[in-house]
Amino acid sequence: MAEKIIEVNDDNFEEEVMRSDKPVMVDFWAPWCGPCKAIAPTVVELEKSFGEKVKFVKVNVDENPITPSKFGIQAIPTLIFFKAGEVSDQITGMVSKEKIEESVKGLI
């Protein structure tokens, strides 16, 4: 099965996230970040459970410096939860699946 986590970049962040009909969880990551790679399977699992109601996207902060600086991100992994274009929740660092799931449920 193809991974349903959409790669979003500086150019289409506005359209894909800020103007999304569905609430969105954005995973800010980079290839050099071990913990980011470590939480990636959790994000895929959550997409399987909640993908119908929540849109899951990721932003590579190496290739897209504008979006992370707009949100003041100085640490990854950072997960930001958007509801109707507004930040409703944010998680920085490696946390348990339960904690992320709680924030995803908060979007619904």
Partner 1 sequence: MQADYDLVIVGAGPAGLTSAIYAARARMKVLLIEKTAPGGQVIITDWIENYPGFPDGISGFDLGEKMKTQAENLGIEIESAQVSSLELSGDQKRIALQDRTISAWSVIVASGASPKRLNIGEEKFIGKGVSFCATCDAPFFRDKTVVAVGGGDTAIKEAVFLTRFADKVYVVHRRDELRAEKIIQERAFANDKIEFVWDSVVTGVEGFFGIERVSIENVKTGEKKALEAAGCFIWIGVIPNTDFLENSGVELDESGFIVADSDMKTSVPGVFAAGDVRTTPLRQVATAVGDGAVAAVAAEHYTESINK
Of 21 and 72, nearer to partner 1 (C-beta) is 72
Q: Tell me whether residue 88 is exposed, middle or buried, using C-beta atoms within 10 angstroms of its C-beta: 0 to 12, 13 to 18, 19 or more.
A: middle
Site for partner 1 contains 51 (CB under 8 A): no
33 is catalytic: yes
Place of tokens 């939480």: 39
What is the distance of C-alpha 45 from the center of its chain? 13
Instruction: Choose the binding region for partner 1 from 2-10, 11-19, 26-34, 51-59 (rule: CB under 8 A).
Output: 26-34
38: contact with partner 1 by CB under 8 A: yes
Known catalytic residues? 33, 36
